[in-house]
Amino acid sequence: MVKTILSITNNFLVTFIRYAGQLSLLFLRSVYLLFVPPLKADRILTQMLRVGPGSFFISALVAFFIGIIMSLQMAYQMIELSAEIYIPSVVAVSLTRELAPVLTALIVAGRFGAGITAEIGSMVVTEQVDALKAFAVNPVKYLVVPRLAALVVMLPVLTIFADLIGIFGSFVLCIFKLDISAPLFYSMVVQSLTMKDIMTGLIKTICFGAIIATVGCHEGFKVQSGAEGVGKATTSSVVLSFILIIVADCLFTTVFYFIFRV
């Protein structure tokens, strides 16, 4: 029994280390090629338009209702303690540091990350990637770099909007339900929210964007068995992106708290 558990654990660790190494190599290669001319800015802009405007509505909608839900859940205890004026402060800090970056990344991973894998997987199945190689076009430069650059740039932008809209959702509830005046709400948010709160969230999203792009492209390049393989790769891409985003968030939060005391 013990040998079986050790064997399973060993196989899992080997698989995880191998996969992490493959992702790291693809990411480093993409970063290198990003600065190698020619720089196809039009392809990057195209992907940025797909990530930003395409994901704005759903991320904004989720952030708005998360702000309302957090305010409602906190109101139970805060009202009993006569401390409801602190609801705006806690909501603002929680959104900017943790919830808005993670939820926005998960939404983009489910929407755009799956699309990346499906697109590249279909190109692999139909031998379009082999055609690129035949014409001396680097598939990583042509396919991965624009998507990586777009996600690294646009995910922080989406997160900033999610922060604002989530705080606005809390504002709506506090004004109309909890009898907190607009000047008081504004004052509590401004007093509690600092630049380090915003920056810690944005730093996380840069890493999350890199994870989504790298995992999505890597899973797309691995597709082998036709349409069924594309479906499996898309599912794997979303699941692995979710897991790695949560793990990365935990690591960032630990580092910020225990090392940088942020």
The secondary structure of 10-56 as a DSSP string is HHHHHHHHHHHHHHHHHHHHHHHHHTSSP--HHHHHHHHHHHHHHHH
Query: Does the pLDDT at position 160 exceed 70?
Result: yes
Report the mean per-residue pLDDT for the chain. Answer: 89
pLDDT of residue 26: 93
Percent of the chain with pLDDT over 70: 95
Of 30 and 3, more confident: 30
- Classified as helix, coil or strand, 223 is coil
Query: Does the pLDDT at position 44 exceed 70?
Result: yes
Tell if the pTM clears 0.85, that is, is over it.
Answer: yes
| Cβ(157)–Cβ(100) below 8 Å | no
Helix spans in the chain (H): 2-34, 41-80, 87-94, 100-108, 114-125, 128-134, 139, 145-176, 182-192, 195-221, 226-258
* One-character DSSP codes across 240-258: HHHHHHHHHHHHHHHHHHH
pLDDT band at residue 262 under the 50/70/90 scheme: low
Query: Does the pLDDT at position 2 exceed 70?
Result: no
Residues 84-105: tens digit of each pLDDT? 888 899 999 999 999 999 999 9
Q: Domain residues of the chain, as ranges?
A: 2-258
**What is the phi/psi pair of residue 61, to 5°?**
-60, -45
pLDDT of residue 3: 66
Residues 201-258: tens digit of each pLDDT? 999 999 999 999 999 999 999 888 777 888 889 999 999 999 999 999 999 999 988 8
